[in-house]
Amino acid sequence: MADISELATNIHRLSTVLGRLADGTVQECCGFGMSQFKILWILRKHEAGVLQTNIADWLNQTEAAVSRQVGLLVEEGLIDKQVDPANRRNHMILLSAEGKKFADNAMKALVTEYKPYFEVISLKEQEQLNTLLEKIFFAVVKKEHSEGKA
């Protein structure tokens, strides 16, 4: 059985390789990188809109970095900003209709790219792996938030 160091190393190695593949795929199909895609995909999953601070937290990035990406996506007409009715000082970030198409096209391209690699394990194993990775991810995020790192 693999020890934790092997497990962590394999997760990092896989993440690096998949990240490189994803960045190239999204760049080729849609003309933008993974940083922008991640924002689009968060907004695709949260269609009511999201605060920029939440996006930064979820991506573990600074608000300044997210702000630059949001600015580029607004310029390209892929996202919109609206005043938050609950707090008029905040802005909700939402996908535009064009942004939805871009996000969906990019995800289709990523699924096509990843599919042969994930088919080496069964659908049941894929579901189990996803559940286990989410469990680890949320444990790390919870710990970072409780220690004030996020």
Please give the residue range of the domain that contains residue 12: 4-119
pLDDT of residue 85: 82
Residue 9 lies in a domain: yes
pTM score above 0.75 = yes
As a whole number of angstroms, the distance between CA 21 and CA 125 comes to: 22
Cα distances from 110 to residues 101, 128, 137, in angstroms, run: 14, 21, 21
Q: Does 146 fall in a domain?
A: no
- Residue from 15, 17, 34, 16 nearest 26 by CA: 34
Distances in whole angstroms, Cα of residue 52 to Cα of each of 49, 93, 142, 145: 9, 7, 20, 17
pLDDT tens, 66-80?
999 999 999 999 999
pLDDT band at 145 (very low <50, low <70, confident <90, very high): low
Mean pLDDT of the region 14-43: 92
Residue 23, domain CATH: 1.10.10.10
Residue 137 pLDDT > 90, yes or no?
A: no
**Cβ-contact 60, 150 below 8 angstroms:** yes
Our count of domains for the chain comes to: 1
| pLDDT value at 148 more than 80 | no
